[in-house]
Amino acid sequence: MIVSKSFRWIESHFIAALVGSASFCASPLVLSDSGIMDTLQVHGFLSQALIITDENEFFGPSNQGAGSFEYTEIGLNTSLRPHQDILLAAQVLSRRAGGESSDALPELDYGLIDYQMVSNQERTFGIQLGRIKNPFGFYNQTRDVAFTRPSILLPQSIYFDRTRSLGLSGDGVTLYHDEKLATGSIRTQLGFGKARIENDVEQTLGLDSFPGSLEPGSSAIGQIRYEHDGGRIITALSTAKANADYNSYANQPGNGSFQFQPWVFSFQYNQELWTLTAEFATRHLELTGFESIANSSTRGESWYLQFTRRFNNNWQWLVRYDSLVNNRDDRSGKSFEARGLGPAHSQFADDLTFGLQWTPHPQVMLAGEYHHVDGTGWWPNQDNSESKETSRRWNMVLFQLSLRF
What are the extents of the domains in the chain?
Answer: 5-404
- CA dist 318 and 323 (Å) reads 16
Query: How does pLDDT run across 141-169, given as a tens digit for each residue?
Result: 999 999 999 999 999 999 988 888 888 89
Q: Is the pLDDT of residue 103 over 90?
A: no
| pLDDT in the model for residue 32 | 57
Q: Are the C-beta atoms of residues 223 and 236 closer than 8 Å to each other?
A: yes
- CA dist 36 and 216 (Å) reads 37
- Choose the weakest-confidence range: 6-20, 67-81, 136-150, 344-358: 6-20
Secondary structure E strands in 217-363 = 218-228, 233-248, 256-270, 274-288, 296-311, 315-325, 348-361
Average pLDDT (188-212) is 85
Confidence of residue 17 (pLDDT cuts 50, 70, 90): very low
- CA dist 136 and 220 (Å) reads 12
- CA dist 201 and 196 (Å) reads 10
Q: Is the pLDDT of residue 52 over 80?
A: yes
Average pLDDT (303-320) is 97
Confidence of residue 384 (pLDDT cuts 50, 70, 90): low
> CA separation (Å) from 96 to 3, 71, 245, 248?
31, 5, 27, 29
- CA dist 136 and 224 (Å) reads 10
| pLDDT in the model for residue 387 | 66
Instruction: Please count the CA atoms within 13 angstroms of the CA of 127 that sit on its side-chain side.
Output: 5
- CA dist 186 and 90 (Å) reads 25
Q: Is the pLDDT of residue 5 over 70?
A: no
Global pTM exceeds 0.75? yes
Please provide the average confidence, as pLDDT, over all residues in the chain. Answer: 88
Between the two ends of the chain, the Cα-to-Cα distance in Å is 27
| pLDDT in the model for residue 296 | 81
Confidence of residue 2 (pLDDT cuts 50, 70, 90): very low
Confidence of residue 385 (pLDDT cuts 50, 70, 90): low
Tell me which CATH homologous superfamily contains domain 5-404.
Porin (2.40.160.10)
